[in-house]
Chain A
Amino acid sequence: MSTAGSVSKACFVFKSKQKKVANPEDYFCHDTSDSTAQTRHRAFHTLWDELNTEIQILQSDLNTRIFDDLIQFTQNASSKFTFDPDDSTHQRVAYEIPTAALVTGVNMPDHDVMFANLISLVREKVSLYVAVLKSNDCPNVKSVMVKSITQLMGNKDMMDDSIDDGDNTTVNIKKINCTMSTLAAWYADKFNKPSSPKKKRSSSGEGIETSRCPPLVIVLEDLEGFPPHVLQDFVLICSNHLTDLPIVLILGIATAVTAVHRVLPHSVSSLLCIERFQAPPSTNYLTQVINKVLMTPRHPFKLDAKVFQLLLDIFLYHDFSVLNFIRGLQFGLMDHFYSNPVSCLCCPLEDSLETVKTLNHQNLEEMRKTASFRKYVESQPSKDQILLLTDDKHLKKVVADLLYSMDNYHRCFFPMLDCLHCLVKKLPKHPLGKQVREVYCECLKGNISETEAYKDAFSLLKAMSKDEMTILLHQCIDRLAQEDVPEELKSIPNNLREFVNRFENLEDLTQTVGDTTGDDENTEALPKKTDMHTLRKTLLERKKKKLTVYEVIRTDTVEYLNEICSKYLACPRSQPLHEIFYYDSASEIRRHINGAPRTAIQTALSNPYFYLQNPSLQGESNSVSPALPDVCIIYKLHLECGRLINMYDWLQAFITLIHTREGAEEEEDPKQPDKKLQARFIRAVSELQFLGFIKPTKRKTDHVARLTWGGC
């Protein structure tokens, strides 16, 4: 069945006989000669599953505090509700709808997950009756009412035991009138049974216990997206029925609480009793994800500096969306395992040691080809070099050793990184950045101890006061005393403690030493006669010489810190076989995550050599060579024009060029050009129109309007 050229149909269905499920492994292992493909695919799968679950746990933990507050709020809001009209509290709250304004931040793509978590929590702890409204479902008041009421009433009532009953209610909902009165009647029918004992409620836990009349929670996910009049009407309707229904609103707001006042006039917003809840910013979430997933020795997969920077930049400059960051990570992970043959060893140490044993000659050759390994070979004595390059068994042993050392390197690296971050995060001007990820990025870029920023940071450390210094040292000690720190680093906290002790005992030292030095200097008399310049010089020199004991210790400390940092924070790229763990093709990510369709089209049109690679197309970018494809000629000619283009002139110019190329055969009448040329012209022009470079205009006969402003 052809899908093209139909004039009556635009959708074509190709239905398979049985439900077929694609198996990703088939596509991963397309190359049968590559024996590691299966291993890699398995490794990819397990690793991604691990990361994914970890991220999901993070996600649900992330908003715990704010969600707890919100749940508390909804419980409190509804607890005052009774059906007794004489109750005094009832009178008080009657006309204000308890409203929680949840300020979520601008990272819209992440909100879906957040609200899903929130709703499931509310269902679990407060009330089963939750309605979720999204602005794109709700163009008018009617749809708002229908959506909310069907969700509230259609909820499978846990108190009804029989499934049949539940089914009946869902059927009925389609037929009932979706009004608040219906809802109120339904609600009263359900809960206004003063005599009803609390039966069958034991399983639902204490959350439901407190609210005999569970609140009706209505969640508006994106307040800014709702049409204002719809929202106003909805709030008015809700407030009218507050006496009958314990309604609680949760407004998801991406910008700021003032959005409520922008959308609602005072008369309406005064009906809301708004309490503000601020969700933690997405940068916090990102930091946690990076800490848990990337900056840990537990997961073997790592990002190289460029890739890491790119993903961070996409996050910071495009959308603040952690979800998209994770997807970028997933793409990188997939591409790493798919395109890098040595990645079969990118798994936890025990597994990778097993895998090394099974490697065949071809795989080991791949290993030998990696740049870092070659560098490593060159650093070895020549006898070993030959062995490494020829003997597979020897190589396997070496690879296993290298994997060990790599693992060890990572174990030392991250605690030290945290230490360094502790040291530098509060320095003035933040030479290495505030966030640990910035420090990490610096480390990935190259040997951090050689960078300017690092040197600046350490010269600033050398100017610290005693109190600050001891605080920093304590922080470092705390970090290095944690469980995950390997044996190798165990001595560092002790050394640091020694420094702290010396700082604390400073008092005694200064008194003893200080006196003598002070005396010495006093005795040294100034020359009697001298000019201003030399006097200043000598005084300055003297000042320099006069290092206090504190300064001495401080210098020692900083030197020591510098030493351990440069030892353990070497650039990962300096490690042999780092290619196994580090994914570095930033261009791949940039091209596929952050595509640039317009640039591609314009390049194809203005510089076809870039794609076609035909030598005859090579030329200056601003000339119109007649050898170009038709549409490129047309495009380049149109770049010469202003806002409007005369079609006739365009055609003539095109014909001029084409005649040059094909050699003007005969003196034909230019007023009646070759039909074929005209057809080619028409095709090229309509393609430009299709691409959106030009459009027809009525401003002048037989003219088209240009829609872009580029090209000179």
Chain B
Amino acid sequence: MGSLRRTVTRTARSSGHQKVRGVGQGQGWGVRLGRKIERSSGDGEFEKDSDEDSEVFRPPEALTEDSETLAGRDMYGFRTPNKKGQMTQKASESAQAYTPVSKTPKSKKTPVKTPKSVEKKTPKSGKKQTEMVTPAKRKSKVLPRRPETTTPYRLRKRNVADVVDDSSSDSAMSSEEESSSVASSETTGSATVTATTSESTSKTPTKRKMRGDQSALPDMTEEYFLAHSSNQIHTSDRTLARLGRMDQDSLTNMLTDVPNMYRKECAALYREHRALFDKWMLQMCNGFNLLLYGFGSKRPLLEEFRTTVLKGFTSLVINGYFPSITVKNILNSITEDLIEHRGSFRSVTDQCDFIKDHYESGEYEDIFLIIHNIDGSMLRSDKVQTVLSVLAQIRGFHILASIDHINGPLIWDQTKSSRFNWLWYDVTSYNAYTEETSYENSLLVQQSGALALSSLTHVMKSLTPNAREIFMLLVKYQLENKDNASYIGLSFHALYQRCREAFLVNSDLTLKAQLTEFTDHKLIRYKKSVDGVDHLYIPLDEATLTEQQFCRAICGNVTQCNAPLRCECWPNRCG
């Protein structure tokens, strides 16, 4: 139990939650407050002498019983991966183990050159399969070995240029490294694998209520620190630069016709959840609020609830995943749209008090707040949650919220979670989080800078040629300095000099005015150097700056106006 809590806390820290204040959530925190306190403070009589030693610590059985809330080692264990490509190995192993209906998998892909024993032993074999690279061919190109962890920024370009060579060096290197450790780890690994296999196959999980693996949680302190002791990062150096990037639109287009293999099962789950609607209403009428959790988007379910059961009731939908939602938005939509109050408030608390007074003095009315992702990044702060918890307490207010982040419940302390008075519902749906992840927060899409590009296009259209050229100057300078790791931007003064030389501005005030437009649209940022001078830089990575679209965004516009652009600043594809 203790180690479990530790796990949660650690992960919470690393995920950037500043406040670690758990709500119970079945993970038994506060174990130390237990029976002991109760015993001693129980009936006010202290019998210190004889039964001090007899105080037996009783673990909270009822909380952990039948292990429904605990999945055991499977979930919270540690491992110390010190091999590269373990993932690839796993993938190919699993792929081989899998027997598809039509074809035997992949056998033809196995390179002939790889000796059988090696294939079995080294974790690289999987990678070789997928890449079909034979290292021997390109051995000559192998570069002098670089320390892995510190691939400097300027080297990346080179890496991208010849990934093949990189990967071969990588594999060569890894085989050196691993040859010693492979044997031992292999044996232990297989031993554990077989052990768990026999364990899990012996039980046949037929009902959803029954879950296998009820083994107690081991004490894993040592392993945690072992896993964190080394600073080495054992991963390969390949980058994604060769893959064409996708923007949000093409991504959604691509995904529209991807079939869901388990549509029938998902529909069954959905029906199961739908059947709860009446119960939910009953519980909300009795003063509870509902919190839906589980994997998969809960949007469709909540929307259906709103359109069917809540038809005719006053309701308010709040998209917590929206990247710029504020607590002010929420309160304003209550005061302005629901109460139709035209007036301003001095503070958020005033506004809350006003809402409270309005609803508690008048006739009773049911108001339903549907909050998609109450743990959304903008709602995570303590203040917002306090406001929401205060709203939850107003007479007639009911909250239906969904929560997705694995450490989400940490946003509430005891007081707040008690104010919310949650009832938890597991509504695992396996729906894709289409809406929730659509706001440019995903890793691969983000780097395409589509939002920046589109805003750039718009801003560029509305600007004077001079302003455009100022921006161009900055872009050019940034590209010239792309290999300089300590580049922090062009100082304002230097930019002014350059602009003057190009007859773009006549005073630093005009330059400042021109730059405001860009800073407002987050296309330029200021950074202070050590000596306190403002430096300007464009917060886009170099890949985006050289992107074709980017060129088009600027060139397209610029060519419309007078300047026959100095296209040489973009080395590639500008035309």
Q: Which residue of A lies closest to B256 (CB)?
A: A679
Which of these, B153, B268, B281, contacts A22 with CB under 8 Å?
A: B281
A649:B314 contact, CB within 8 angstroms: no
A526 at the interface (CB under 8 A from B): no
Q: Which residue of B lies closest to A318 (CB)?
A: B24
In the complex the two chains form, what is the Cα distance from A704 to B87 in whole Å? 14
In the complex the two chains form, what is the Cα distance from A588 to B306 in whole Å? 25
CB distance from B34 to the nearest CB of A (A): 6
Q: Which residue of B lies closest to A2 (CB)?
A: B303
A682:B246 contact, CB within 8 angstroms: yes
B428:A670 contact, CB within 8 angstroms: no
Q: A27-B278, A675-B254, A690-B441 are in contact. Are A640 and B87 (CB under 8 A)?
A: yes
A313:B236 contact, CB within 8 angstroms: no
* Size bracket of the B interface: 35 or more
B560 at the interface (CB under 8 A from A): no
Specify which chain B residues have a CB less than 8 angstroms from the CB of A313 in the assembled complex.
60-63
Q: Which of A409-417, A459-467, A572-580, A602-610 contacts B (4 or more CB under 8 A)?
A: A602-610
In the complex the two chains form, what is the Cα distance from A659 to B94 in whole Å? 12
B469 at the interface (CB under 8 A from A): no
Specify which chain B residues have a CB less than 8 angstroms from the CB of A435 in the assembled complex.
38, 42-43
A15 at the interface (CB under 8 A from B): yes
Q: List 11 A-B contacts (CB under 8 A).
A: A26-B281, A27-B278, A587-B66, A601-B404, A646-B238, A656-B91, A657-B94, A660-B98, A686-B442, A686-B443, A703-B235
Specify which chain B residues have a CB less than 8 angstroms from the CB of A430 in the assembled complex.
51, 54
B196:A691 contact, CB within 8 angstroms: no
Which of these, A284, A327, A617, A652, contacts B130 with CB under 8 Å?
A: A652
Which of these, B77, B235, B366, contacts A644 with CB under 8 Å?
A: B235
B126 at the interface (CB under 8 A from A): yes
In the complex the two chains form, what is the Cα distance from A694 to B98 in whole Å? 28
Which of these, A598, A611, A687, A690, contacts B407 with CB under 8 Å?
A: A598
Which of these, A638, A647, A656, contacts B444 with CB under 8 Å?
A: A647
Specify which chain B residues have a CB less than 8 angstroms from the CB of A593 in the assembled complex.
423-424
In the complex the two chains form, what is the Cα distance from A24 to B285 in whole Å? 6
Query: Given A675-B244, A683-B251, A690-B441, 6 other A-B contacts at CB below 8 A?
Result: A316-B34, A593-B424, A597-B294, A638-B87, A656-B129, A667-B109
Specify which chain B residues have a CB less than 8 angstroms from the CB of A15 in the assembled complex.
314, 337-338
A108 at the interface (CB under 8 A from B): yes
In the complex the two chains form, what is the Cα distance from A375 to B78 in whole Å? 49
Which of these, A312, A610, A617, A626, contacts B95 with CB under 8 Å?
A: A626
* Interface positions of A from 611 to 630, Cβ below 8 Å from B: 611-614, 617-618, 620-627, 629
A690:B433 contact, CB within 8 angstroms: yes
A518 at the interface (CB under 8 A from B): no
CB distance from B309 to the nearest CB of A (A): 8
B86 at the interface (CB under 8 A from A): yes
B513 at the interface (CB under 8 A from A): no
A520 at the interface (CB under 8 A from B): no
B29 at the interface (CB under 8 A from A): yes
A314 at the interface (CB under 8 A from B): yes
Q: Which residue of B lies closest to A24 (CB)?
A: B285
Q: Which residue of A lies closest to B386 (CB)?
A: A136
Which of these, A327, A642, A659, A689, contacts B235 with CB under 8 Å?
A: A642
B98:A309 contact, CB within 8 angstroms: no
Specify which chain B residues have a CB less than 8 angstroms from the CB of A12 in the assembled complex.
316-318, 333
In the complex the two chains form, what is the Cα distance from A287 to B43 in whole Å? 9
A655 at the interface (CB under 8 A from B): yes
A145 at the interface (CB under 8 A from B): no
B406:A691 contact, CB within 8 angstroms: yes
Specify which chain A residues have a CB less than 8 angstroms from the CB of B329 in the assembled complex.
10-11
In the complex the two chains form, what is the Cα distance from A590 to B65 in whole Å? 10
In the complex the two chains form, what is the Cα distance from A381 to B7 in whole Å? 59
B404:A691 contact, CB within 8 angstroms: yes
In the complex the two chains form, what is the Cα distance from A289 to B86 in whole Å? 57
Q: Which of A330-338, A500-508, A527-535 contacts B (4 or more CB under 8 A)?
A: A330-338
Q: Which residue of A lies closest to B353 (CB)?
A: A137
In the complex the two chains form, what is the Cα distance from A679 to B62 in whole Å? 45
A367 at the interface (CB under 8 A from B): no
B193:A622 contact, CB within 8 angstroms: yes
CB distance from B318 to the nearest CB of A (A): 5
In the complex the two chains form, what is the Cα distance from A314 to B296 in whole Å? 29
A682:B251 contact, CB within 8 angstroms: yes
